Amino acid sequence: MIGEVAAGEPIYAPEELGVYVDSPVDADAAMTVKGDSMSPGYQDGDIVYIKCRPDVQEGMIAVVFLDDEAVIKRVYKRQTGLTLASDNPAYPPIMAEFEDYTNMRIFGMPVGYTRIYKNRIEGKIKKGMV
């Protein structure tokens, strides 16, 4: 687990090793999703498992580092940067220009996630995995 990834505005996410999590899929890293811009696919609190790769196909979901901040978005390449689009229509796309960042790169693509369900009535936690 290397930190948090924003499903919304980018958040600080230094690439430091954190807690080891046992991944149910072949993955290189895991991050906790913060926010709801990728809902319904990825929701706040999900643990997303990432296969590191420096590129993804147009329109694929990826974790992207914008200097020390990370986002999980759909990636569209432009000559001057990347358009990072949310699945939730309430969020406008992020127009990330190469000239605005010292280090903009695709970290990898999600290959699975774990979602924790909490029953509000009984206060019980249920664990689901996809």
Q: Among residues of the chain, what percentage have pLDDT more than 90?
A: 66
Which residues is 33 bridged to in the sheet? Answer: 5
What are the tokens at 15? 């690439």
Q: Would you give the distance in Å from CA 111 to the centre of its chain?
A: 11
DSSP 67: T
Q: Could you tell me the end-to-end alpha-carbon distance of the chain, in angstroms, rounded to an integer?
A: 17
Instruction: List the domains of the chain with CATH numbers.
Output: 4-129 (2.10.109.10)
List % helix, strand, coil for the chain (3-state, nearest 5). 0, 50, 50
The pLDDT of residue 126 is above 70: no
23 is catalytic: no
37 is catalytic: yes
Report, as an integer, the average pLDDT of 104-118. Answer: 91
pTM given for the model:
0.80
**What is the average pLDDT value for the chain, to the nearest integer?**
85
The span from the CA of 61 to the CA of 107, in Å, is: 11
Q: Catalytic: which of 73, 86, 118, 126?
A: 73
Instruction: Please give the pLDDT value at position 80.
Output: 96
Q: Which of 37, 86, 118, 126 is catalytic?
A: 37
